């Protein structure tokens, strides 16, 4: 891993993590054309995600801090007897918006437990699916880009057709969690794009879903990266500290820029154009793979 490759991959990670076009899929495509694959790629991808997480904490620090304080207060109320399971169920509507959001976060994270199920050979489902991120083909990424593009286009059409948005509910939170599961499992399925689109398809407002998606991604990305980091350390890596640090810093800076840009495009309703882009990129990846097989 050279410095210029670390900078390029950091830019790709930072810019695509927060735009609905799949950072993992773009990293796979860039690594395919630059000839990078294997254990170093797995570890470097984990480190780049740390950079983009830093960007999330920087840009949404106030909201995250308020949610942390609300979570502490909520737990205190439960342990002191002010709330219990039956009370929360019966008086859920009386909870403030931040407490409701915290509960919805838990519901959305439940589908991720599927990734921890054993898949044989001492590996879990996540271990088995990680092969798509480290192989030398971009065929799977191509089909996943097509899936992301379809979700973005359908979500944008649904949002434009609605005259009145509905509030987040348990069903919507669960559907968002299922979308996040696909994004966590497959490179080319955008986490932000799929979760936002799932919420839009359920009728939730775009502004709410963008905030919900970014904050929801923090525990999901952390959990996935901790698992991948463990695997990368066990497998060993020749990645040096210099390019790794440069890549992390580049991902963090470009991530902040992407968040600022995303806030602007939200006002312009441009989600569907990202869908067209993902469809075109998916067709390109599939075409490159087929062509390479023909001439091999």
Nearest to 224, CA basis, from 122, 114, 147:
114
Q: What percent of the chain has pLDDT over 70?
A: 82
Give which of 222, 176, 177 is closest to 199, Cα–Cα.
176
CB 65 within 8 A of CB 47: no
Listed range (11-25, 61-75, 226-240, 248-262) with the worst mean pLDDT: 226-240
Alpha-helix runs per DSSP H in the chain = 3-18, 23-34, 39-59, 61-79, 85-90, 97-109, 125-129, 131-134, 139-161, 170-185, 191-201, 206-235, 241-268, 271-295
Handedness of CA 62, 46, 12, 2 (dihedral sign): positive
pLDDT at position 47 over 60: yes
Residue 247's pLDDT is 86
Non-local CB neighbours of 36 within 8 Å, separated by 6+ positions = 1, 5
Tokens of 236: 């060993």
- For the purposes of burial, counting CB atoms within 10 Å of the CB of 215, is it exposed (0-12), middle (13-18) or buried (19 or more)? middle
Pairing outcome for strands 123-124 and 118-120: antiparallel
CA dist 248 and 271 (Å) reads 27
Q: Is the pLDDT of residue 285 over 70?
A: yes
Beta bridge partners of 123: 120
Measure the CA–CA gap between 148 and 192, rounded to whole angstroms.
10
Query: What tokens appear for 93 in the block?
Result: 């509507």
Q: Is the pLDDT of residue 37 over 60?
A: no
Coil, strand or helix at 66: helix
Average pLDDT over residues 29-40: 66
The rounded distance, in Å, linking the Cα atoms of 191 and 65 is 23
pLDDT at 5 over 90: no
What is the distance between the alpha carbons of residues 102 and 234, in angstroms, rounded to a whole number? 34
pLDDT digits (tens, 9 = 90+) for 166-194: 889 999 999 999 999 888 888 889 988 99
> pLDDT tens digits, residue range 224-272?
667 666 665 665 556 677 887 888 899 899 988 988 887 787 777 788 8
Least confident piece of the model among 1-5, 108-112, 207-211: 1-5
Higher pLDDT, 70 or 134: 70
Measure the CA–CA gap between 266 and 207, rounded to whole angstroms. 8
3-class SS at 296?
coil
**Integer Cα distance of 140 and 146 in angstroms:** 10
* Structure confidence at residue 133 as a pLDDT band (50, 70, 90): low
How far apart, in whole angstroms, are the C-alpha atoms of residue 220 and residue 150?
23
pLDDT for 155 beyond 70: yes
CA–CA gap between residue 274 and residue 26 (Å, rounded): 13
- d(CA 85, CA 3) in angstroms, rounded, equals 53
Specify the pTM: 0.82
Mean per-residue pLDDT for 70-88? 77
Q: Are residues 191 and 217 in contact, defined by beta-carbon separation less than 8 angstroms?
A: yes
Residue 38 has pLDDT above 60, yes or no: no
Question: What per-residue confidence (pLDDT) applies to 242?
Answer: 82
* Percentage with pLDDT > 90 across the chain: 24
């Amino acid at each position: 891993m050279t410095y210029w490759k670390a900078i390029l991959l950091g830019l790709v990670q930072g810019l695509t993590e927060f735009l609905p076009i799949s950072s993992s899929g773009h990293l796979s495509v860039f690594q395919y054309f630059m000839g990078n694959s294997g254990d170093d790629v797995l570890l470097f991808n984990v480190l780049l995600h740390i950079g983009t997480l830093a960007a999330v904490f920087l840009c949404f620090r106030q909201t995250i801090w308020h949610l942390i304080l609300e979570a502490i207060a909520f737990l205190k109320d439960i342990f002191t007897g002010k709330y219990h399971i039956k009370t929360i169920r019966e008086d859920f509507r009386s909870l403030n918006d931040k407490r409701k959001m915290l509960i919805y976060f838990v519901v959305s994270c439940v589908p991720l437990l599927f990734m921890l199920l054993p898949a044989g050979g001492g590996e879990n489902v996540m271990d088995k699916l990680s092969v798509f991120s480290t192989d030398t083909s971009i065929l799977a990424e191509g089909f996943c880009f097509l899936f992301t593009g379809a979700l973005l286009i359908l979500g944008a059409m649904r949002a434009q057709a609605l005259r009145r948005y509905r509030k987040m509910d348990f069903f919507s939170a669960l559907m968002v969690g299922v979308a996040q599961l696909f994004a966590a499992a497959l490179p080319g399925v955008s986490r932000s794009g799929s979760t936002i689109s799932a919420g839009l398809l359920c009728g939730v407002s775009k502004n709410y879903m963008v905030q919900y998606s970014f904050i929801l991604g923090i525990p999901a990305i952390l959990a996935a990266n901790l698992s991948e980091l463990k695997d990368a350390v066990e497998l060993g890596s020749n990645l040096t500290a210099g390019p790794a640090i440069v890549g992390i810093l580049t991902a963090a800076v470009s991530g902040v820029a992407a968040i600022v840009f995303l806030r602007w495009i939200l006002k312009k309703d441009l989600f569907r154009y990202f869908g067209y882009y993902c469809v075109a990129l998916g067709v390109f990846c599939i075409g490159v793979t087929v062509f390479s097989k023909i001439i091999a």
